[in-house]
């Protein structure tokens, strides 16, 4: 399938200055921007910056960024699921994953995460995809925010809902390992019934196992 990417942007006013939410950004644009030193959720900032440039080079890869002047202060990534995850087993060309979303502490509470998802879904091409995100509590910054698991989960769910993602049931062992973990999904308007059925089989792979 052809992976179309149409650039969209939105200006967000915050107490710390205007932030531009934009994307999908090209690998060249991304490589040219500074990457904030507080973007440390997944790996050291310089390595994460390089990883995002790599994702932007993939045919299906999409990087949406929050930019304060010349500095990236937040981002969301979309790409095919990790080959080690069950979601890649069906090798569906129209199934992509919101792999990571991160905003620096200074801009949290300013609706940056929510707007990263809104801008992501402004691209009409997203209606051709089933978009998923797997939320695991061990990835959440509970210490930095001072929130408990359920308070953080509520914030994450509200943010994902802004992008049109909804809670879906699954028997995936990692998601089922803690009640706060969840699968959230957005099925695009142009996704065919066969793809939806294939996805349902991925969600419940153990239903006939006793």
Instruction: With a cut of 60, say whether residue 187 has pLDDT above it.
Output: yes
pLDDT at residue 15 greater than cutoff 70: yes
Confidence of residue 148 (pLDDT cuts 50, 70, 90): very high
Contact (CB, 8 A) for 76 and 98: yes
What is the average pLDDT across 58-67? 97
Say what the pTM is. 0.92
**H helix runs in the chain, sequence order:** 27-32, 45-57, 112-120, 142-145, 149-162, 173-176, 193-203
């Amino acid at each position: 399938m052809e992976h179309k990417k149409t650039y969209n942007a939105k200006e967000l006013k915050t107490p710390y200055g205007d932030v531009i939410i934009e994307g999908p950004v090209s690998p060249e644009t991304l490589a040219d921007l500074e990457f904030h030193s507080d973007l440390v959720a997944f790996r050291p900032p310089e390595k994460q910056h390089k990883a995002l440039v790599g994702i932007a080079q993939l045919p299906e890869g999409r990087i949406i960024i929050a930019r304060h002047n010349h500095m990236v202060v937040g981002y969301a990534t979309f790409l095919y699921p990790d080959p080690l995850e069950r979601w890649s087993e069906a090798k569906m060309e129209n199934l992509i994953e919101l792999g990571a979303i991160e905003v620096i502490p200074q801009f949290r509470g300013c609706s940056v995460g929510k707007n990263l998802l809104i801008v992501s879904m402004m691209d009409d091409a997203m209606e051709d995809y089933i978009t998923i995100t797997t939320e695991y509590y061990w990835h959440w910054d509970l210490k930095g925010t001072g929130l408990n698991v359920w308070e953080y989960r509520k914030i994450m769910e509200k943010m994902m809902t802004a992008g049109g993602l909804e809670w879906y049931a699954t028997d995936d062992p990692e998601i089922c390992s803690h009640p706060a973990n969840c699968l959230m999904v957005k099925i695009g308007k142009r996704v065919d019934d066969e793809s939806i059925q294939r996805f349902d089989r991925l969600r419940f792979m153990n239903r006939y196992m006793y």
